[in-house]
Amino acid sequence: MSLIEFHRVGFQIGPKVILRELNLTVEAGETLVLLGRSGSGKTTALRLINGMLFPTSGQVVVSERPTTEWDAVALKRSIGYVIQESGLFPHFTVGRNVGLQPELAGWPKEKIGERVRTLLRTVSLDPDEFLARYPRQLSGGQRQRVGVARALAADPGILLFDEPFGALDPVTRLDLQREFPRLVTELGKTAVFVTHDVREAMKLGTRIALLEAGCLVFAGTPGEFQMCGHPEARAFQEVFRDAG
Amino acid sequence: MPDNVVDYDVLRDILEEGLPLLGEHLALVITAMVIAAAIAIPLGILVAHTRRWRALATGIAGIGQTIPSLALFGFLIPLPLIGGIGAHTAIVALVLYAVLPILRNTITGIQGVDPAVRDSAVAMGMTRAQMLRLVELPLAAPVILSGLRIATVATIGTATIAAAIGAGGLGVFIFRGIASVDKWQILAGAIPSALLALCADAGIGWLEKRCASS
């Protein structure tokens, strides 16, 4: 079943075209990686899924309903979102950061506390050690873990990742890249992951969608991606081969 | 009696008169600051996200600042309703002066919220009001308080001039002292108003630091 569908989606700001005629589907349970250079429209495509942006033409359908017909708050709360540098609220503790969405949804306090502890354990952080810390007291990797825990808080079916590991040191990044597929599979989530790093795309994606200047030039498995003859795909393949 | 010897009768008179004047001074400053904050903070929040409104609001608020304070008091006296002799005219002038630093800092504080943090709040499905209450205002608080501190310190100083239009306050001592070439009277007005400004600076500065570190 397609959980997310892009039907001839266009997006432009004034005269500037960001996305054109994008047709793409994301099946339940898969991890689709949106790969492309900076400015190729990846983040815009991601934000069209949770209603942070709306298409200027065509439509994005989430769970069989166009995003324009969803209640804006309900759509966003049904989708987890993780961004680079995690976007944690610096004035809230780790516990409050992770528990904020359930709090906004009106969960009882004890249930929130329980949920936060479970989630921190899920992302390999000891609740007793981290609950009361502030984001500034965490390392980059720990912040991203908390960011993932926060995105999972209201148990969304879909998770969106916008270059979440982009600002991490290579060792921490590799750690999280190893853990990520396990987490997504174990929790049975559907994920859309934005990156410009082809190695990350090959490692994490069950499918890769390659964007070039707002156009989709390839969509397929990592194996198929390596065989793709499109010049943009070949440019990324070369980077992948050079990286060994 | 030599000029530098304290005359205790004069001192007693100054103290007796000084306390009510200090009270008047505080009342002027507090009233003006409450009104200025009630105008500038909501206005700052409203215009912070729109460049055109932001420029308009700071532009209008800036006009008051360009007029010298004594001249502004003078301009206000002939105006109906808000003008005339007395405290209310002084409060109008003090508010006009205090609005700009609070407005500017409110805008700077709200604009200074990390875009990634704002994105997270939007993606979480926060309503505009929740975003303001839970994210923007707490994060902008130190900068807004800094604006309040600057405005309060300036208002304490400017309020001494308000005595010129019959608004009372510690300026009464200063003006009278200058007119009668009496340094004790001048100091009786100048020292408490300077101490008041220092206390306000330290007190609000402490709040600012507490907000920034939490």
Q: Chain A contact for B117, CB < 8 A?
A: yes
Residue at A125 is within a domain: yes
DSSP states along chain A: -EEEEEEEEEEEETTEEEEEEEEEEEETT-EEEEEE-TTSSHHHHHHHHTTSS--SEEEEEETTEEGGGS-HHHHHHTEEEEETTTT--TTS-HHHHHHHHHHHTT--HHHHHHHHHHHHHHTT--HHHHTT--GGGS-HHHHHHHHHHHHHTT--SEEEEESTTTTS-HHHHHHHHHHHHHHHHHHT-EEEEEES-HHHHHHH-SEEEEEETTEEEEEE-HHHHHH---HHHHHHHHHHHHT-
- CB contact B130 to A (< 8 Å): yes
Q: Is A76 close to B214, i.e. CB distance below 8 A?
A: no
Range of the domain at A127: 93-155
User: Are the C-beta atoms of residues B191 and B132 closer than 8 Å to each other?
Assistant: no
Residues B155, B166: Cα–Cα separation, whole Å: 17
Kindly list the residues from chain A whose CB atom is less than 8 angstroms away from the CB atom of residue B127. Answer: 73
User: Is the Cβ pair B135, A75 closer than 8 Å?
Assistant: no
Kindly report the average pLDDT of chain A as a whole number: 92
Tokens of A104: 């906004």
Total count of domains within chain A? 1
A148 belongs to a structural domain = yes
Q: Which of A150, A18, A9 is nearest to A86 (CA)?
A: A150
Percent of chain A with pLDDT over 90: 79
Q: Do B124 and A89 touch (CB under 8 A)?
A: no
Q: A56 or A169: whose pLDDT is higher?
A: A56
pLDDT at A22 over 90: yes
Q: Which residues of A touch B122 (CB under 8 A)?
A: 52, 76
pLDDT the model gives residue B5: 65
Q: Is residue A117 in a domain?
A: yes
**What would the pLDDT profile of A124-135 be if each residue is shown by its tens digit?**
899 999 999 999
pLDDT at position B166 is: 83
Cβ pair A90:B114 closer than 8 A: yes
A184-193, A227-236, B55-64, B112-121: least confident range: B55-64
Contact between A208 and A35 under an 8 Å Cβ cutoff? The reply is yes
Q: Is the pLDDT reported for residue A84 higher than 60?
A: yes
**Contact across the interface for A89 and B214, Cβ inside 8 Å:** no
| Residue A182 structure tokens | 């396990």
Q: Report chain B residues whose CB lies below 8 A from the CB of A81.
A: 119-120, 123-124
Q: Is the pLDDT of residue A181 over 90?
A: no
Would you say residue A52 lies in a domain?
no
CA distance B133 to chain A (A): 12
* Contact B212/A at CB under 8 A: no
Of A52, A84, A88, nearest to B122 by CB-CB distance is A52
Residue A135 lies in a domain: yes
Residue ranges for chain B with pLDDT beneath 50: 1
Q: Is the pLDDT of residue A41 over 70?
A: yes
Contacts of B19 (CB under 8 A, 6+ apart): none
Given a contact cutoff of 8 angstroms between Cβ atoms, the answer to whether A54 and A137 are in contact is no
Which of A59, A51, A65, A72 minimizes the C-alpha distance to A24? Answer: A59
Nearest to A40 by CA among A62, A22, A24, A58: A22
Residue A15 predicted with pLDDT over 60: yes
Question: How far does A121 lie from chain B, in Å, by closest CA?
Answer: 22
CA B108, CA B102: separation in Å to the nearest integer?
10
What is the pLDDT, as a whole number, of residue B11?
Answer: 77
Chain A residues within an 8 Å CB radius of B210: none
More confident of the two residues B157 and A169: B157
Which of B118, B119, B122, B124 best probes binding to A when mutated, by most A CB atoms within 10 angstroms?
Answer: B124
Give the range with max mean pLDDT: A110-114, A168-172, B48-52. Answer: A110-114
Q: Which chain B residues have a beta carbon less than 8 Å from that of A76?
A: 122-125
- The pLDDT value recorded for residue B6 is 67
Residue in chain A lying closest to B122 (CA): A52
Are B125 and A87 inside 8 Å of each other by CB? no
**Mean pLDDT lowest among A38-52, A97-111, A194-208, B58-72:** B58-72
* Smallest CA–CA distance from B117 into chain A, residue: A87
Is pLDDT at A177 greater than 70 in this prediction?
A: yes
Residue A84 within any structural domain of the chain: no
Has residue A45 been placed in a domain?
A: no
* B119–A83 CB contact, under 8 Å: yes
Question: Is A43 a domain residue?
Answer: no
